[in-house]
Chain A
């Protein structure tokens, strides 16, 4: 299958402390997104120095990466909802164009 046969979509990735993931996930669901992927325990380096790390007995403060793919017309709503939360917490959001082979999974 060539990439031209794929359906364009918008991918939104959010990295937040685990404690904030529930608010973000609820927002994603509330705008009609069909699903999201959550990866806990991610780490990295950024604005506030090193983030994450090995935390055997702490899921609460481990960073969580949430990924959702939505049709373009739903992306603005998710971004509008998440921005106020990110203003009040440490976290980042990336929005990018993507393409999928089964659009009915995401629409």
Chain B
């Protein structure tokens, strides 16, 4: 790569600068705004590296860890969460030399490489937590100037994103143009700085080129310099990245970097700084030479004479096999083996009815693969003869949904996908619909006005001053009796025009070929091609919460951070569509005439499961629905009680239905539910291999039956789509748990919402990315276990091998160590793990008895 000199064409130079910034900005993933919060690995770009290399690179660039620090791992070893055997196996997995039984002679003592490395992990002086290595010159030489740059940029972007009135004077301008025009009026800046901004280059790329030429960097250090500025405020960079790629023409990371480097040039006179001081030479690739203290600690633990030079040399050779990053990777592997052992489906024959088919179940209920579904499914199966299945909550209908309530269409599908069709909600009851829409319009206007005033950066102060006398009593009532306040609102709502029966136009928006394609894909992917019940419930999910900026983080990830109700309704319509059923029958899937698909929604806060279109239930199925409703209520009570046992602030003996309803309505509740905390596994196979096992809401469960998927395309779709979304979620939770200060959104009580773009912690600082602390921890203790996704697939190996060859996205995650893939062909087979040399058996992955109680999420003190 070459940076064109100023003598090359201007056009070429600008393009090169833009390319360099685009490359640098990949160091932080785009940040989705609050209304469509999407869980994603904040350092997803590092997934092109092996996990071990990424540990080094993320430490060097971000000063953050992808694993616990070693003291925490040692604590986990001490309390038994990690076993010595797990650690031995992890060493052998990562270090080829440790697999050899060869004995080393250290004086009169005989030890193996594996034993020495085990002693090293347990006794050697621990390496310090990673420190930010990549710095801007201002951060190193003039921290006050650096803080001033950060403060100015944060203030400017808060205004730009929240569209404060004064910022709109530059409407139509890009970020750079508006800043050049308006920043010289900012009296908080020094006169010479204001003047410098006024006379800066008219193009942001030229301003960056000016800064690069001032520093005199070469190509490699110029790239690192830009990355340092990109990562100086990763939150704002991530927000600008997302805005730019989603069509906000005003925003560009190039402009953001130009603003930063221009301010730095104007505020920092000291140019005497070397790339080495700034950490621009990257992480060292060579294994660390073990120091004397490490050799002596291991030697003492091994009981060998460390004064003997030959012994010291032997120890040094062995200890040089692992550097700080590989030590962490080994610990992480050992840590994850415990989770895998706990969550692996048992190796045991699953009893199946033989002879005449068994009695038809009351219903089949298809829930989202979201780990929260695992609990409600378990309780539903206990409450009655109901079969449950798992499928991605968008139910294979990638749609934009336009609600009858008005407003723009929202993409209701995974962010991996572009919606294929727009589905609209409407009603044949024209007059009631018009009255309801008028009522909503009035409410919307009021809420819109109130919301705009509340979410702007300046007007909330005026709002509090003018409306406080009215809002004060209402606030008091909401605080004292949140459930009562909500009930009052609902009662008042019933006095006004209500929503009439509506339907979606999915059968019109999607042509027959599409409907058949998606319906067949869904049924084959989840293995539901025969034995249909009279009722098949498609249960999307959502979370009703109050006063929670991160509400969308609790919604359905497969529906782009929205509730799954529209997709459940659209999919039910498609499955009930006679022409679609006719074509499915031609393709070998015969849905009986008496099978009715119904849409439902599972509220993950209260565990209520309600049917979404009760008006569409025919008289022939009314009794079935009534019985099923009672079953849903029993399952709700059981699962809510189970969840409350591990939710902070729940009084012992509290009525689970009332308590969860309070959490839904309480605007001061920071723990309405645990979300996906604890997620650790992705299990692909028939429900029979996990039924009866309490997985503690820690596993994504995707139903799959190889026999229903003759060409393997269903498995390919599962591993290239739902599994990818699960890995995004898993990585997001891990990052927010391990580096809450850098990759987490901080404590909820301190949140200061900036428009809809995100939150600040208090008055200023960087925009917070990731999940709030209350999504992963309590007090100072961590609740979420940051383990990489443990994937278990029951499918023919020939299909998996073909998939690993053809699907790069899956192959990379597995081979580079970002997920762990285990597979077996039959339920009586042992799990094999895909490792560096192909599939290998793991004898220690013992089955867990079906009656094992739920694991309690460990409270681990993360030392930071």
Contacts and interface: CB of A to CB of B under 8 A. Distances in A.
B412 to A, nearest CB: 13
Nearest to B413: A57
B9 A55 contact: no
A67 B416 CA distance: 23
Nearest to B722: A57
A77 B14 contact: yes
Contact of A60 (B14, B415, B717): B415
B721 A58 contact: yes
Interface in B1-40: 1-2, 4, 9, 11-16, 18-20, 22-23, 26
A59 B416 contact: yes
Contacts of A50: 805-808
Interface in A11-37: 22-23, 26-27, 30-32
A54 interface: yes
Contacts of B398: 57
Interface residues of A, number: 36
A80 B12 contact: yes
Interface in B782-813: 805-809, 811
A16 B415 CA distance: 18
Contacts of A32: 11
Interface string A69-96: 0000110111011111101111000000
A53 interface: yes
A76 B45 contact: no
Contacts of A73: 9
A60 B47 CA distance: 15
A60 B1 contact: no
A104 to B, nearest CB: 20
A8 interface: no
A27 B12 contact: no
A48 interface: yes
Interface centre among A23, A73, A80, A81 (most CB of B within 10 A): A80
B18 A81 contact: yes
Contacts of A90: 48
Chain B contact residues (Cβ within 8 angstroms of A): what range? 35 or more
Contacts of B11: 31-32, 74, 77
Contacts of B521: 56
Contacts of A85: 19, 22-23
B223 interface: yes
B422 interface: no
B501 interface: no
Contact of A30 (B15, B418, B806): B15
A73 B2 CA distance: 18
Contacts of A60: 415-417, 724
Given A55-B717, A58-B417, A81 B245 contact: no
Contact of A27 (B2, B9, B18): B18
Contacts of B100: none
A57 B16 contact: no
A23 B19 CA distance: 8
B721 A55 contact: yes
B696 interface: no
Interface centre among A52, A88, A89 (most CB of B within 10 A): A88
Given A61-B416, A90-B48, A84 B717 contact: no
A105 to B, nearest CB: 20
B228 to A, nearest CB: 15
A73 to B, nearest CB: 8
B396 interface: yes
Given A56-B521, A58-B720, A58-B724, A77 B223 contact: no
A27 to B, nearest CB: 6
B582 interface: no
Contacts of A77: 9, 11-12, 14-16
Nearest to B521: A56
The 4 closest A-B pairs by CB, nearest first: A81-B15, A57-B721, A81-B19, A84-B19
13 contacts: A30-B18, A31-B11, A52-B808, A53-B720, A54-B713, A56-B717, A56-B721, A61-B724, A80-B4, A81-B19, A83-B16, A84-B223, A85-B19
Given A53-B720, A60-B416, 15 more contacts: A30-B15, A31-B15, A52-B808, A54-B716, A55-B720, A56-B721, A58-B724, A60-B415, A61-B724, A77-B12, A77-B15, A80-B4, A80-B15, A84-B223, A88-B26
